Each structure stands twice: as structure tokens, then as C-alpha cells.
Amino acid sequence: MLHIKDLHAGVEEKEILKGIDLDVKPGEVHAIMGPNGSGKSTLASVIAGKEEFEIIKGDLEFEGEDISELDPEERAHKGLFLSFQYPVEIPGVSVTNFVKTAINETRKAKGQKDMPAGEMLKKIKEKADLLEIDRKFLSRSLNEGFSGGEKKRNEIFQLAMLEPKLAILDETDSGLDIDALKVVANGVNKLKSKDNAVIVITHYQRLLDYIVPDYVHVLMGGKIVKSGNKELAKELEAKGYDWIKEELV
Amino acid sequence: MSLKDKLVSSYIAFEDHLEDDSPIHDLRNDAIKVFEEKGFPSKKEEAWKYTSLNALLKNDYSVFPSNKSSLELKDVRKYFLHEIDTYKLVFVDGVYNSFLSETTHDSLDVCLLSSALNKTKYKAVIDAYFNKTAVKESLTSLNTAFAKEGAYIHIPKNKEVEKPIEIINFSTGSEAAVLLQPRNLVVVGENAHVQIIERHQSLNGNQVLTNSVTEIFAEKRAYVDFYKIQNDAHTASLIDSTYVSQEQESHCRVHTFSFGGKLTRNNLNFYQKGERCDSTLNGITIIEGKQHVDHNTLVHHIAPNCESHQDYKGIFDENATGVFNGKVYVEKDAQKLDAFQQNNNILVSDKASINSKPQLEIFADDVRCSHGCTIGQLDEDAMFYLQSRGIGKKEARALLMYAFANNVLEGVKIPELKARINKLIANKIGVSLGFAL
């Protein structure tokens, strides 16, 4: 599904990603862990197509197609989704209206008609229930005055509504208390199928107790320095990152 | 002959035609003297540093336009807030149009300044209020000298006016260049409430220069909401001078929506004379092409325990230029004051510009005054967020601009008007979004 090979990317002259290799297949859950400043969020942004990052060299393919030159919205139309660490506030535009716009813009790009209102409402209700989201919440302005937890839950609500093929969750656990974390993780698990995939980016192992990864990768200094299964995450939690650094030396 | 000379010499003929016992005869004579002495403002004056009238003053304006054309309601209906019932004062080329208007004398006066100036029963009000807030500035003085027609609105004590009042000035383009000088007087009695919508609309591509003056008096505990819709043709220019005088515990809010016109200058002056007054000055400016909008505001705090809120948002595209010059003047007795001023701007194009200048003069020692100003581009992180949700660049930009201006729109208390302005904004930004704004 996602094929990344020897990917180097950065901002202006500064190289942040220094040769990433990553393959994600349908049905898989990958976790990317690493200390602060290792390039985790950059990797998420580069996959999603943030303009300020430049790909210096390497391959970035999604479903067999080179997506490195596509605009973020074109990548979204193909089924990529990034859950933001810091979602942006959009005053005056309700959660519902925003989600409707996002869905219909994607449909438009695919040459489809707008989703019928009845179907849309039904879907909104279903996904809001899944994530235990109050109906009143949906009529509030997008992210405006939301708590950290509400913002993250709203991100996952959008994920549920847009049903992407590949979802990248960037630090979705930060700002969540344990109850909210369980709800969010439960939502993600229910949305998982053999046809879609998830990349979980996180500092801590905590989220991985609930969204169990098939693979765990450690990102350090812009490179994936170690890969393993879920046991690796536990080891990192117990021992920190220093032992990997030592191992590398 | 320069426009100034033409106006001064026209004045003599104009005054000859008026009855000698006009209650404002002396005011007029004084006013023309002020104009004659000061002339039109130039860029040498601090308050006009970024706005030049020179190009406009070169036109050979007809000072007393003839009212030859008649308007059909169907042609101009869209300019009215026709979704709801309103009082209407409609002027066509400076002349009252009774067919399009809906006036009243039933428990409140919504009528013509010309009749108020001529009928003795209004004399007491005219004597008490007319030209009492207007400063001796040259353009206001010019308007005073030629003051003849406009809206006269008098809301008596305790009256809550349910229907909004619309003041619409049409110009039909019957002459190549026209100077219009409407003069409005609004007196809102103690504990009375009123909502007013004002609009200037040019219907043809002729050169129109409107030098409008409005005086608003809010007595104790009065509530006034005044909406200015400035969405005129690219050949029409407007200099609007509005003076608001507030007594104790009155609430006055002026919302200015500047979406069109060649040159627009808003001189908005608030005077808080009584304690616990509340003033709100809000504006959204969205312009492009070579349009120019200049907001020159003054809030003069005289009495203690008052509040004032200013929030102006501007979006400038192409070669558009904007000015925000906001002055807050706090006299030494105006203690325990809370004055807030905010001016945020987005420059969409590299060629657009804005000059923003907050001015605070504070002579009291126990006050809270804050001001802030930002000039920037659309936030790239926000753009990326929207695009990553599948929303195209153009729509994402529109959504962000809408979000940027939104909080000012929240202040519009007439739902039908709010919907109209929403639509105007969507049109200005140039997209139809996937939902009704």
C-alpha cells in the first residue's frame, strides 16, 4: 500500500529524513516511535504532502503510484489521512459542516455527486456514537475552544467519516486521559479492516496497549534504526532510547 | 474651476433658494466658511496621509443632480432587505423617492430631514441635536453647508422599534459625475432600541462621490445597532463621517462591511459622555482590484466606567490598499475604563497593502486599554490541515478567510442581514462552499 524507499527530505537546506525505508501492507498496523526531534512528525507531513518539506531523493509510492508531486488534497482523495498532533481552529465552521465539505470535495474529485443528506446524517450519527461524541459537539466551531482531548477525538471522528485506506495518527495519544485514550483506540480498532492500514506515531508505548501494532519502528536522527514487533515497544518503554543509541555505536 | 471654488460659488445660489428662517441658516453660513478656509483634505494632513482624494476631485461633479430617472422596484429590490418587513428611506440621486420608501410617524418618526428642517414641530429637536456632534472638519462642514436631505429618525423614550430601518441612497447615473451629500440625523430616546441599515448604491458606471454625514444621539440606556453595507460599484466613492454621542448606560454598535467601491473613507467617531456606556466598532473589509478602504476611528472616553470594543478585519487581494487608523482618547475623568482595539489583516497578494496605526492617548491612570494589530498571509499550517482533508486549495483559502472574518459577523443581530452578508462574503471570496454559510 505504502512504499517508501531511501527517502531523504527536509526544509530548505536542512535534511531531516536521511534515508527512510518503510513498507505498509493492507491490514497492517505500524508504530513509529522515537525521541523528540527524530523526524517522526516530519515523516507524517512528508507522506501527507506538506509543502514546506522538500523531497531530496527516494521513492514515495501509494498503491503503486508515485505521490511525491501530488498536492495534499490529491493524496487525501486517494485515501491518505493524517490525524494532526495540533489540529487547526476554524471559527464559524461547524464540525458537521467541515466534515460534509471534506467528504463532498473528495467525492467531487472522484467525479461523484454529493453524498445525499440523509445518508450523511446517518453516517455522522453512527460514527459519533462509535466515538462517544455528543451531538452538541458536532455543531461547535471546528476545534475552537476544544480541549486537547476533544481535538484528538474530533480528528478520529474525521478519520471515521472519511474512511481512508491509510491513516497516520500523529501523537494522537498526547493530551488524552486514559478514558479518552480507550475510546479513541477502540474507535480506531473498529475502523480497522484487512483492506486498510494504520501508522501510529507516538512517544509512548501507552497507546500501543490499545492499538496493537504488527510492527514497531524506531526513528532516530532521520533514519529507522531498529524494527521489531510489539515487544520492542515494551522494551523501549522500560529502557528508554539510550540503549539503542549505544547499540548503534 | 476647481471643485472647491465651484462648491463655494454654488453655495450662494443654493442658500438663496432656501427660506431665510431656516433653523440652520447660521450653521450653514459658518460651515461654508470652514470649508472655504480649509478646503479638501490633502495627504499633508496626518489623518489623510494614506488616502488621497486628488484623483477624485478632478471630476467635474454635478453638485445639484437633476432627478430625471425613475426607478422600478423590481430593478432595485435586491438592494433591500426584502426578506423581512422594514421601514425604508430611499433617496435617488439625492432626492427622496416616496414610491420606494416606507416612512412612519406612528409613535416614532422615520421621515425626511428636509421636512424636519422646514416644519416647526421638529424645530426643538433640530435645535437640540442637529450638528451638535459634528466636528468642524472640512468635509463635514461642506456637508453641513449643503445639508438639505437625508434620514430623520427620532425614537421616543422607551420605544423598542421592532422593524429595522433601511436608509438607501441610489445614484442612477443620469449625469457623468455626481456629488451627493446626504445628511442623516438619528435621535434615540431614553431606553429606546433601534436597528438601522445604511447603504449607498450606484446603479450605473458613472462617477459618484458621496460625502455623507450621520449624527447619532443615544440617550440614557438607549440601544443602537447601525449596519453600514458598502458594496458599491467600482466607480463610486464614499466619504462617510458618522458621529455617535452616547449618554449614560447607552449601547451603540456600528458595523461596517466594506466590500466594494473605488475609494471608501469611514470617519467613525464615538463620544462617551455618560457613565457605563458601551461602544462597539466592528468592520470587515474584503477588497481587490485597485479598491481602497480607509477606516479612521475615534473613541473619545469622557466619563468613567465605560467600555469600548473595536474589531476590524481586512482581506486585501490584487492591488487593493487599506488603512486602519484607530484612535482611543481617554480623558482624565474616564477612570475604570476598558478599551479594546484589534485590527487584523490578511494580504492575499504581494501587491496589496495595509497601513495600520493604533493611537492611544490616555490621561486617566486607572484604565485598561489594549490594542493589537496583525498583518499576515493565510496560515500555511491551516492550509495544509484543510488540504489534507481533501479540500482543494481554493476552497481551503476561502474557508480560512471566512473563518478569519467570522467573529465580526457574529455581532450581526438580524439573521436575514447576517445571511445576506454571509452570501456577499462568499461571493467576494469567489467560491461556493459545500454548505450554506
CA neighbours closer than 13 Å in the CB half-sphere of residue B41: 20
> Which of B380, B387, B399 lies at the smallest CB-CB distance from A90?
B399
Task: State mean pLDDT over A16-30.
Answer: 95
B437 band by pLDDT with thresholds 50, 70 and 90: very low
Sign of CA dihedral A199, A202, A204, A206: negative
Is B355 a domain residue?
no
Contact yes or no for B435 and A51 at CB 8 A: no
pLDDT of residue B70 exceeding 80, the answer is no
Alpha-carbon distance of B211 to B402, in angstroms, equals: 31
B25 band by pLDDT with thresholds 50, 70 and 90: confident
pLDDT at B67: 65
B191 closest CA partner among B225, B158, B232, B233: B158
Task: State mean pLDDT over B271-285.
Answer: 97
The string of pLDDT tens digits covering residues B318-345 is: 999 999 999 999 999 999 999 999 999 9
- Calculate how close chain A gets to B387, using CA atoms only, in Å: 5
Alpha-carbon distance of B146 to B260, in angstroms, equals: 26
Is B358 a domain residue?
no
Task: State mean pLDDT over B370-397.
Answer: 91
Nearest CA in chain A to B433: A101
CA neighbours closer than 13 Å in the CB half-sphere of residue B366: 8
The class of domain A2-248 in CATH terms is alpha beta
Task: State mean pLDDT over B240-255.
Answer: 98
What separation in angstroms does the CA of B50 have from each of A127, A142, B258, B341? 54, 38, 17, 20
| Neighboring chain A residues of B391 at a CB cutoff of 8 Å | 73, 101-102, 105
pLDDT at B97: 92
Q: Does B379 touch chain A (CB under 8 A)?
A: yes
The string of pLDDT tens digits covering residues B166-195 is: 999 999 887 889 999 999 999 999 999 999
A174 closest CA partner among A44, A87, A237, A72: A87
Largest CA distance in chain B: 72
pLDDT at B32: 95
Say yes or no: B267 and B403 in one domain.
no
- Calculate how close chain B gets to A216, using CA atoms only, in Å: 25
Q: How many structural domains does chain B have?
A: 2
Count of H helices and E strands in chain A? 9, 12
Show Cβ contacts of residue A190 under 8 Å, excluding neighbours closer than 6 positions: A130
The answer to whether the beta carbons of residues A43 and A222 sit under 8 Å apart is no
Mean pLDDT over the full length of chain B: 92
- Calculate how close chain B gets to A30, using CA atoms only, in Å: 20
Alpha-carbon distance of B217 to B128, in angstroms, equals: 11
Alpha-carbon distance of A29 to A26, in angstroms, equals: 9
The string of pLDDT tens digits covering residues A197-243 is: 999 999 888 889 899 999 999 999 999 998 999 888 888 888 888 88
Instruction: Please state which of the ranges A87-96, A120-129, B62-71, B278-287 shows the lowest mean pLDDT.
Output: B62-71
Range of the domain at B233: 3-274
CA neighbours closer than 13 Å in the CB half-sphere of residue B75: 10
Q: Which residues of A touch B (CB under 8 A)?
A: 45, 48-52, 71-73, 75-77, 80-82, 84, 86-93, 97-98, 100-106, 109, 114, 158, 162
pLDDT of residue B65 exceeding 80, the answer is no
**Quick check: helix, strand or coil at residue A151?**
helix
Q: Angle at the Cα of B302 (from B301 to B303), degrees rounded to 5?
A: 105
**Quick check: helix, strand or coil at residue A179?**
helix
The answer to whether the beta carbons of residues A218 and A245 sit under 8 Å apart is no
Contact yes or no for B400 and A106 at CB 8 A: no
B340 closest CA partner among B285, B281, B295, B291: B281
**What DSSP letter does each residue of B228-280 carry, written as one string?**
EEE---TTEEEEEEEEEEE-TT-EEEEEEEE---SEEEEEEEEEE-STT-EEE
Considering B218, B249, B274, which residue would you say is the last residue of a domain?
B274
Nearest CA in chain A to B393: A73
What separation in angstroms does the CA of B183 have from each of B30, B71, B82, B234? 17, 22, 24, 23
CA neighbours closer than 13 Å in the CB half-sphere of residue A86: 5
Alpha-carbon distance of A99 to A94, in angstroms, equals: 9
B342 closest CA partner among B379, B382, B314: B314
Alpha-carbon distance of A102 to B119, in angstroms, equals: 62
pLDDT at A50: 94
**What DSSP letter does each residue of B96-148 carry, written as one string?**
E-TTT-B-B-SSSEEEEHHHHHH-GGGHHHHHHHTTSS----HHHHHHHHT--
Alpha-carbon distance of B144 to A82, in angstroms, equals: 62
pLDDT of residue A37 exceeding 70, the answer is yes
| Neighboring chain A residues of B421 at a CB cutoff of 8 Å | none
Q: What pTM was computed for the model?
A: 0.85
Instruction: Report the Cα B77 to chain-centroid distance in Å.
Output: 22
Alpha helices by DSSP H, A144-227: 148-162, 178-191
pLDDT at B330: 96
Which grid coordinates are listed for B103?
A: 416612512
Task: State mean pLDDT over B45-68.
Answer: 88
Is B113 a domain residue?
yes
Q: ipTM score of the complex?
A: 0.94
DSSP state of B62: B
Is B398 a domain residue?
yes
Largest CA distance in chain A: 60
Contact yes or no for B434 and A105 at CB 8 A: yes
Alpha-carbon distance of A18 to A32, in angstroms, equals: 15
Sign of CA dihedral A145, A149, A155, A159: negative
The answer to whether the beta carbons of residues A84 and A39 sit under 8 Å apart is no
Contact yes or no for B395 and A101 at CB 8 A: yes
pLDDT at B69: 65
Contact yes or no for B399 and A48 at CB 8 A: no
Contact yes or no for A92 and B380 at CB 8 A: no
B434 band by pLDDT with thresholds 50, 70 and 90: very low
* Residue A207, φ and ψ in degrees, nearest 5: -65, -30
Say yes or no: B238 and B100 in one domain.
yes
Contact yes or no for B389 and A97 at CB 8 A: no
Contact yes or no for B434 and A101 at CB 8 A: yes
B278 closest CA partner among B256, B295, B298, B301: B301
Say yes or no: B93 and B229 in one domain.
yes
* Residue B361, φ and ψ in degrees, nearest 5: -120, 110
pLDDT at B436: 46
Is B377 a domain residue?
no
pLDDT at B300: 97
The string of pLDDT tens digits covering residues B126-167 is: 999 999 998 889 999 999 999 999 999 999 999 999 999 999
Question: What residue spans define the domains of chain A?
Answer: 2-248
Mean pLDDT over the full length of chain A: 91
Is B10 a domain residue?
yes
